[in-house]
Structure formats: C-alpha cells, structure tokens
Chains A and B, each alone.
Chain A
Amino acid sequence: MPYLEIKNLHASIGDIQILKGVNLEINKGEVHALMGPNGSGKSTLSSVIMGHPDYEVTEGDILLNGESILEMDPDERALAGLFLCFQYPVAIPGVSISNFMKKAVDARHPEGKAPAGPFLKEMREMMAYLDMDKSFANRGLNEGFSGGEKKRMEILQMMMFKPSIAIMDETDSGLDIDALQVVSKGVNKLRGPDLGLLVITHYERILTYIEPEFLHVLMEGKIVMSGGPELVKKLEENGYDWVREQVIATA
C-alpha cells in the first residue's frame, strides 16, 4: 500500500476547475519530482494536499497511510505526518522562531510538551547545518527575511518536524546557487527510508541537487507522463511541447 495515495483528484477554486483527475502514489523512502508548465496546477495540488480552505475537492480522494485525509483540518494533517514547504511563507510578526518552533514541536510530542533542553540543542544543530546564525532563533518568523532565509526556515522546520511525507512547492524559485545548495543539503540529509518526498519545480536545476527516482509531468490538471530520472534530461532539452504533442497523439 503506498503511503500517500492520490486518487482521481478533482479540485476547484470558486468555479474554476484546476485539478482534473490527478493520480499519484508516493512511498516512504521515495523521491518524486513533479514538473509542468505555468498554470498546470502544481501549486494547487500542494495546497489541496495540505487542506487549504480556499480549494474544494469535487471528486476523488487523498489517502495517507490508508486513511482519507479529506475531512481533516490542516493541523490534523500536519500531525498525521504531512509537511508542506511553502513557496511563499508568510510572516508572523513578533513571534520568535524559537517560540514558534517550540510550539510546533510540542504539538507533535506525545505528552504535549517537548523538554526544552534537547529541543534547543537539536534546533541549534540543524540551524548550523543550514548555515543559519544562532541569533536567527530570536527573529520574528519570516519577518523581513530574504528569499533564501525564508526557504532555509522552511527546511529547518522540515528537519525538526520529521514528516513522513513532505511536499516542496517550488522551493528553488528565487534562490541563488549558494542558497539552493544549502537547501538541497538539508533535504538530502533527510532522505531515507522514513520520508517520502514530492519536489514540485519549474526548473530542472534543483533536480541535479536532489535527484528524484520518479518524475511526473502535470498538464492542465492531470499527470500526463511519468518516468525515471532520464525524463528530467529529456524535458530539459526539449521543453514541454513534445509532451503535449504526445498526449494529444495518444488521446
């Protein structure tokens, strides 16, 4: 049984149908990449999986560890092991990173409260790993952060929360090479038998740092092609037009 199973997923925002029957299975230990042209529904898919209230699922299902999560609130989904790396993380002014992280780690702790010492030690280690200065922990969450700082903050959370399934929504957008390398280093540290990863991206670049085992192409709200790493190269060289032609030909 796949750990995350997306079955014939249809979703809309207002009257606009965006996802038109997505099927996708991700197991723990696997890294999947999802690519597609602008407007194909990539970010919508990540928002719908996390339970954004603006989107309505009109058909199909999302199962996590065999259970439908459609009726679950975003916080319940998070505690069930889902994590979303936001493309545009919002600022929460006045809330320090250490305070926020402690609350979020507490929420995952079986007794509702994680011991402060080990928590701080772990967070400092992870921050060092991501080249984040210690003083960062006192700053307001995403408050006045640069693009690179925001993305590091997202990866830091992923490392601390230890999800079973993580979705990275265009984490590479707006990052320079240095920041991309640091972010990728963090992600690669997490790779392993306990994590299933879905990397959503517009560019192949990140996939040279985080090498996926599977690649899917999303077009007009449907996954139209799936393959292995060799597909990355093909897309890089030829763009999406040939995919579109092939889809039309087989339709």
Chain B
Amino acid sequence: MPEFETDSNLVQEYKYGFVTDIESDTIPKGLNEEVVAIISAKKKEPVWMLEWRLKAFRRWKKMKSPTWAYIDCPEIDFQDIHYYSAPKEPVNLADMDPELLKTFERLGIPMGEKDAMSGVAMDVVFDSVSVGTTHKEMLEELGIIFCSISEAIQEHPDLVKQYLGTVVPPGDNFYAALNSAVFTDGSFCYIPKGVTCPVELSTYFRINAADTGQFERTLIICDDNATCSYLEGCTAPARDTNQLHAAVVEIVALENSEVKYSTVQNWYAGDENGIGGIYNFVTKRGHCRGRRSKISWTQVEVGAAITWKYPSCVLEGDGSVGEFYSVAFTNNHMQADTGTKMIHVGKNTSSTIISKGISAGQSSNNYRGLVKVVEGATNARNHSICDSLLIGRDCSANTFPYIESEDDSAHLAHEATTSTISEDQLFYLKSRGLSEEDAASMVVKGFCKDVFKKLPLEFSVEAIKLLEIKLEGSIG
C-alpha cells in the first residue's frame, strides 16, 4: 500500500475536458441496418461479423431500455447519435498526427515507444478507433496477442469467433444488444497457455467528437495456467450535451488462470448543475470456465453523469474465485447504480464483494448486487461488504443486495453500513492541524483503502490523487 501523498497543486476542475481539433471521418447521425453495414465495412470486417452485428441489431430493435435501475435518465434518442467517428488521417504510432500526440501528452499517456511506460503496454481508443498499441513486439514474442478488437477480427478471426458473445450474448440486455450491433473498437487480449503476462495491459478510452456514442468492445481470454492484469482508463471533453458510452467487456478464464481487471473511470460527469456528461451504460462479465480459475474486478468510478454497470463473474469451474472491489464516488447531480453479480455454478466456488460508495452534493449512489448459488454448487462461499459514506445532507445512498441460494451448503455473509463523515472525526483531525478538506479527504481515503490496495501499485497512486481532486470542493 503506497502512502497517500497530496499534491496541493492539483486543480479541482475536470482537466481532461478539452477537445482535440482534428479532422474526423464521421458518419451521419442515425441508426439502421445500413449504418451497421457501414461500420462493418469501415472496419473491413468479414461477412460473418456483419451478420453477427445485423442479428444483434434486429434483436435490439425489439428490446426496450431497462427501467429497473435506480436512476433518473431522460429518454435517449438513438437516432440523434453518430455511431462512428474516427480521425481522418490514418493513425499509427510512427507518424501520429501532432494534435493527437499533444492530446495524449495532456492526458498523461506516453504513446511514443521511447516514452512508453516500462511496465505497461497501452492501447488507445480515440472515439471509434484504436490509434495504437505499445510494446507489441515484446508481447508477440511471448505469444500474447494484445491489439484492437478490429484488428483481432481480421487477424485472429478464429479466436474471436470462438469467444465473442459467449460471455455476454448479444441479446443479454438492451445496451449489450446495441453494442453488439454497432461496437467500433476496444481491446483484444489473448494470453496463451502457461504464460504470465509480464506487463500491465492497458486501454485508454477517449471520446473526442461531439454527439458521438462510443461503443467499446473488449474481449480478454486467459488460457490454461495463464495470468494477466488489465487496466482501462476513460476521459471525455466537457460538453453541455450528454454522450453515450455503452461498452461490453467479456473475460474468459480457463483452467487455473487468473485475470485481474481494473478500471479507473473518469468520464466527464457534467457540470455542477447536472448539465452534460457521459451516460455510462456498461455490461462487463467474466466467465470462470476452467477449474480453479479466478477473475477479479476492481473499479474506481469517479466520473460519468449516469453509471449503470455491474461487472460480474460466472463461477462455473470447480474451485473458481470471483472478486469485486469497487469505489464509486458521485458528486453534484451524478447518478450511479453499480454493483456486481456473482453466479456460483461449480463446486467449492468462492466470491468476495467489497463496495465503497461515497456520495456528495445532490448525487445518488446505489449498490446493486446479486449473489446466486445454483443447485448443485456445493460449498459455495460469498462474503459481501457494502459501505456507503455520505458527505452533506442532499445526497443519497441505497443498497440493493439480492441473494438467491438453491443449495443448502452455501455460506453467504453480507454486511452493509451507511455513515456520514462524523463531526467528531473532523474535529479530531482538525485539532491536529489538518484543514477541513484534508481531514475529510483523509476520512474518505481511509474508507476506500480496502479497495485501493487491490489496484496495481502505480494506478493506486493515480486513483487516490484522482479521488482527492474529486473531493475538493465537495466538502464543507
């Protein structure tokens, strides 16, 4: 666990809210079969992929957007969105548009091979396309495939065909169906048998163009006895209109493999009056297919106007393990309905859930979780801890834990607390010379510690800094 260091120079405003002035190839607004075909054509996809998309699209047309989440979302006009936008000039790492390079510098992403972070291989998705992946050669030597999903569809069609949609089927839910029809880019990772990926695999998602939806699709496969750690980060310009990010992430963990998936989500959250911001409607699911496989989700959610997201694990392999660690911070008018599902299918499976929700301003922050033990999943174990911290009087927190157990041998434990930062804690810390903000920030970081320590070290430091910035101005 790194020591927390406060950088007092950090600014409170959303520093990623700028727009890159770059010529884009954007298709007209609207969604129909022709648009799906255009996207597929732009990606130079094989016919089977187009058919897969069209099937999903036809399903989606019959579906209705879900209303069960505890969020208040204006109706989205799906015909008023651009479904594809990409920088006009072909982009690659060697001769990247200087504007783009500048953008990545401002975002703090080292994209040149020479500045690339030594411990991290990075893929960057700018609006609808991947603009480059670092450390490719080193990974290739190990047999690791880490590339954009578009590239994978062309270069590794058999792997994609074998796994795409097997964890989150196209008809799983409204947004998953939409994503399956119009997904544009995302990452593809394949770790071959017995390989421990030596670097963090990381994707950075950037929305730049206005009125554009981003439909990320990521697929991670960890073969027998393989291990990898993957991290994604997200930002978008500050705009007074809402933008949609509807992602699908699928993870397949085969026998005795381990995948650690971490997210630092910092989409533009709208202004203090709740104008603008990203709608983050995401389906993330991992499938522990092999025996003793393990999937661990860690998420730090500090952005987006509305978040609807439940990274889940289907624990099918005997002895498999699922974990979910979450910090969700909401401020101003942000709304979050987030949590997880742990589905115990195999024998001797176990899962752990630690959720820390922090609400400030007039925001609403909800944990929604399902722990399900199917018949025959003997000796399933789950331990859930869901804590909420309220800052101020106008915010709210709710916990919706669902437990369905069909097997008597299951051991399920659930703990939940809701608290405010107490006056006594603030007085105590202030009487030691800490300002009100530093005192509150310290209490909040302590509250989140169990989750932060699950993040890869370098990202843990970043996540803590990010949370500090978000806390500024939300206290007092």
A residues apposed to B, CB below 8 Å: 50-54, 73-75, 77-79, 83-84, 86, 89-90, 92-96, 98-100, 102-104, 107-108, 112, 140-141, 157, 161
| Complex interface: stretch among B150-158, B376-384, B447-455 | B447-455
Q: Are B433 and A94 in contact (CB under 8 A)?
A: no
Chain B residues within an 8 Å CB radius of A74: 427, 430-431
Q: Are A99 and B431 in contact (CB under 8 A)?
A: no
Known: A90-B425, A112-B8. A95 touches B433 (CB 8 A): no
Chain A residues within an 8 Å CB radius of B430: 73-75, 78
Chain B residues within an 8 Å CB radius of A157: 432
Known: A53-B423, A90-B422. A107 touches B442 (CB 8 A): no
Q: Are B450 and A75 in contact (CB under 8 A)?
A: no
Known: A92-B443, A112-B8. A104 touches B432 (CB 8 A): yes
* CA of A161 to CA of B438, assembled, Å: 17
* Smallest CB gap from B444: residue in A: A94
Q: Are B425 and A92 in contact (CB under 8 A)?
A: yes
Contact of A94 among B8, B435, B439, B447 (CB under 8 A): B447
Q: Are B425 and A50 in contact (CB under 8 A)?
A: no
Main secondary structure of the interface of B (DSSP, over half): helix
Q: Are B3 and A107 in contact (CB under 8 A)?
A: no
Q: Are A90 and B431 in contact (CB under 8 A)?
A: no
Known: A52-B427, A94-B450, A102-B3. A75 touches B436 (CB 8 A): yes
B52 within 8 A of partner (CB): no
> Which of B428, B433, B439, B448 has the most chain A CB within a 10 Å cutoff?
B433
Chain B residues within an 8 Å CB radius of A96: 1, 3
Q: Are A99 and B4 in contact (CB under 8 A)?
A: yes
Shortest Cβ distance from B151 into chain A, in angstroms?
A: 42
Q: Supply 15 further A-B pairs (C-beta < 8 A) apart from A89-B428, A95-B443.
A: A52-B427, A53-B427, A73-B430, A75-B433, A78-B430, A78-B431, A83-B431, A86-B431, A94-B446, A94-B448, A95-B445, A95-B449, A96-B3, A100-B429, A104-B433
Contact of A161 among B433, B443, B449 (CB under 8 A): B433
B434 within 8 A of partner (CB): yes
* CA of A78 to CA of B434, assembled, Å: 9
B415 within 8 A of partner (CB): no
* CA of A110 to CA of B467, assembled, Å: 26
Shortest Cβ distance from A226 into chain B, in angstroms?
A: 27
B140 within 8 A of partner (CB): no
* CA of A74 to CA of B424, assembled, Å: 12
Chain A residues within an 8 Å CB radius of B450: 94
Chain A residues within an 8 Å CB radius of B439: 75
Task: Jot down 8 A-B pairs with beta carbons below 8 A, ordered by A.
Answer: A78-B433, A84-B431, A92-B425, A94-B447, A95-B445, A99-B4, A103-B434, A103-B442
B residues apposed to A, CB below 8 Å: 1, 3-4, 6, 8, 422-425, 427-436, 438-439, 442-443, 445-450
Shortest Cβ distance from B393 into chain A, in angstroms?
A: 16
* CA of A196 to CA of B44, assembled, Å: 80
Q: Are A92 and B442 in contact (CB under 8 A)?
A: yes
Chain A residues within an 8 Å CB radius of B8: 112
Contact of B428 among A77, A90, A98, A161 (CB under 8 A): A90
* CA of A103 to CA of B431, assembled, Å: 13
* CA of A78 to CA of B108, assembled, Å: 38
* Smallest CB gap from B432: residue in A: A104
Chain A residues within an 8 Å CB radius of B424: 90
Q: Are A93 and B446 in contact (CB under 8 A)?
A: yes
* Smallest CB gap from B446: residue in A: A94
Chain B residues within an 8 Å CB radius of A86: 428, 431
Q: Are B434 and A75 in contact (CB under 8 A)?
A: yes
Q: Are B423 and A95 in contact (CB under 8 A)?
A: no
Q: Are A93 and B447 in contact (CB under 8 A)?
A: yes
* CA of A112 to CA of B436, assembled, Å: 16
* CA of A102 to CA of B449, assembled, Å: 17
* CA of A108 to CA of B435, assembled, Å: 12
Q: Are B438 and A103 in contact (CB under 8 A)?
A: yes
Shortest Cβ distance from B464 into chain A, in angstroms?
A: 11
Known: A53-B423, A90-B428. A108 touches B433 (CB 8 A): yes
> Which of A89, A103, A112 has the most chain B CB within a 10 Å cutoff?
A103
Chain B residues within an 8 Å CB radius of A141: 446
Contact of B449 among A51, A73, A94, A108 (CB under 8 A): A94
> Which of B425, B428, B449 has the most chain A CB within a 10 Å cutoff?
B428
Across the A-B interface, give the 8 residue pairs with the lowest CB-CB distance, nearest first: A94-B446, A94-B449, A95-B446, A78-B433, A74-B430, A107-B433, A75-B430, A104-B432
Shortest Cβ distance from B238 into chain A, in angstroms?
A: 31
Shortest Cβ distance from A155 into chain B, in angstroms?
A: 14
* Smallest CB gap from A102: residue in B: B3
Chain A residues within an 8 Å CB radius of B422: 90
Q: Are B428 and A140 in contact (CB under 8 A)?
A: no
